[in-house]
Structure 1
Amino acid sequence: MNFMRAAAAILQRDIRRLLRRRGQWTQPLMFFVMVVVLFPFALGSGEITASIVPAVVWTAMLLATTLSLEEIFRSDFDDGSLDQLALSPHPLPLLLLAKAIAHWLTALLPLILMAGALARALNLAPTPLWTLLVTLLLGTPVFSLVGTLASALTIGLRGGALLLALIVMPLYIPVLIFGAGAVNNAALGLPTSGEMFFLAGLAVLAATLAPFAAAAGLRSRLS
């Protein structure tokens, strides 16, 4: 279908653009690494560090994500292609969903891969380590989807980066709580299905609602 090809073209274009501009995805990655690595130096005790690894990783993931959200629409806004996107005959929510997927693949997937290596280096046991990776795979799409919505609402605003962070932080906190909670439960041998289902439900809800809300917000900003 034509709109599927258009969405695929946007996805491919955004991925190529972000890969060419290495700073857009390497800066959040380096920030994430620094935040996680600095905690052992601050805390000292390896045992205490291992017990808080899930919270450290999820908090660093949340903070690093906010660094990349402003870039979702910046290039399109600067070169004028954002207006063409909004005026496209194809469903705008689907096109914005493609942009959210591109952001997740280029900005958050590298963070997830790095999170696994860092968590293992901080002595996180195999079972909670795998739980951490699964929760990140379930929860971080919510970051990209909600971030796309917030970026659409703040594009072109003076001080938009700060406003964007203020918008997304409260919406990210439930993901952080349930993501870290699932890993802690896994470390204690407790069931994690409740947290997993909650994260999956949030991801489905965000994928269903965020593209439409982002489309409405983008049209409002450009009108």
Structure 2
Amino acid sequence: MNIRQTIDSAGFLFLRKWRPELTTAQAAHLIGIAVEIESFLPATGIPNVQLLSPKRQENAPANHYSGSFGLEEFPLHSDLAHWSIPPRYFVLRCLHGSPTAYTNLLPVSSIFSAIPEQYMRKAVFIPRKRSPAGHCCPLPMWFRQKRDTGVRWDSLFLTPLNSSAKKVAHVFSTKKWSNSLKAVNLLEPGDTLIVDNWHMLHGRSAVDDDSIDRRIERAYLSAIKG
């Protein structure tokens, strides 16, 4: 199977030591169609390629995951779940890895065993932070774009708006997903993880002293090339 078929089937693809001579931007353009955040959303301040590094809570911005959880484990979530439509895919690429820090992945299919589909279809959230214009648009957990459907979740940046959303939030606050998780270790330069952001939740493991120098770059994709 090619890259797109593998990701459509498994929800992610891990490539070990793949083209380490390429920058993350170059690798993203080879894999798919990169989301040029700097061009169409300049006010966000989000660069096209973001550097991810462990930070202690006191050294991180309050609106970042590290600002809430520091070096502790990050909860499972969708990237940019507070957008009207979250990015379809993202790429994580290792610059400096660690043997003790992992990216945890949870297939959305595993959630169906714990949360009835009717709740997921009806659940509506609002972003924790309003837009600069003061708008606060309702965001369905289960969304559709053209022929594709997706699921969003983020306990930090989304606030439940209706009873179904509150039930979903309660399950995520109490459920242990350890038996369904897939752990991927980005260890060597060039190690590349491609994730379907609509059908796979993810989170970082806790970081110990041996992982404090971990450096990962991230880019978003709107499509995977065939």
The normalised TM-score by structure 1 is: 0.25
The higher relative CO (CA closer than 8 Å, separation ≥ 6) is in: 2
Higher percent of residues as helix = 1
Higher percent of residues as strand = 2
